[in-house]
Structure 1
Amino acid sequence: MKNKNKGRDSFIAKMRSPYERVFSQTNHRTRYRGVAKNQFAMFMESLAFNLKRMVILNEEYGF
């Protein structure tokens, strides 16, 4: 029974891996007091992450 869904599990793992990497790198603690400041900080972190990712993808695939 261990290998029953091995193909399905590997397919799901390939689909989840790029997104899990994003969420594993985020800090779960907040730096500021107040919702607006924390939302802005998370927005800026996400923006920086996506810009770094865009540069890597641009070099890799030549978009």
Structure 2
Amino acid sequence: MYEHFFQCPYCWEEISVLLDPSVSQQTYIEDCENCCNPMEFEVSFQNNELISFEVHNIEQ
């Protein structure tokens, strides 16, 4: 597992997420551990190294 730190697009708190480098392309939704708002993650790995990480708020 790979721990990555980023800022929540809602509350701007720095939080971390655990990523699985065995899956090269990932898109999923997870709630912020601080403010509980849903975020969409788009993650890419190549040779077990993180090459792209994006997180977006989900307008509700």
| TM-score, normalised relative to structure 2 | 0.23
Larger Rg: 1
More helix by share: 1
| TM-score, normalised relative to structure 1 | 0.22
More strand by share: 2
